[in-house]
Amino acid sequence: MANVLEMVADIVAAHARTTPMTTDELLSEIKTLYKELQALESGISSEAVSSEEEPAPTLTIRQAFRTNEVICMICGKGMKLLTKHLSQAHQMKPAAYRKEFNIPKTTPLMSKAYAIRRKEISAGMDLTGNLEKARAARKGVVKKGKK
């Protein structure tokens, strides 16, 4: 058992040196590696260990959508923008995620601070003004086409 603990410590330390990790990610990696190495040492297949994964974190929508981060309700990781994580880590589309966890369509899958920052940037670039001009031009084309 001491061998397994030393191996886990060495592997996680090597990974933590090259990759920035939160405390939760570090603890999760330690637990996962420990289970895997114990299974290898006792002769159990790694597939049997992976089928015994911990249940998904249980969060409310209010707890998951914070000011500076959004917590993935599947794996528990926090990030600013959830859509890319869903497609890459869970092969899931935002609509399926919303349906599974009863998240309203009006709730953006990003942190509140990130959404505010994006609005500020778009206002600085006058993207809303350009959008209004394009809509007005399109309405003019549509009205002319109907007459």
Question: Which tokens belong to 16?
Answer: 């933590």
Q: What are phi and psi of 78, to 5 degrees?
A: -105, 140
Cross-strand pairs, 70: 65, 79
pLDDT of residue 21: 76
Q: How far apart are CA 74 and CA 56, in angstroms?
A: 5
pLDDT tens, position by position, 7-49: 888 888 888 888 787 887 878 888 888 888 788 777 765 554 4
Answer yes or no: pTM beyond 0.75. Answer: no
pLDDT digits (tens, 9 = 90+) for 107-120: 899 999 999 998 88
Q: Give tens-digit pLDDT for 64-110.
A: 888 899 999 888 889 999 999 999 888 999 999 999 999 999 989 99
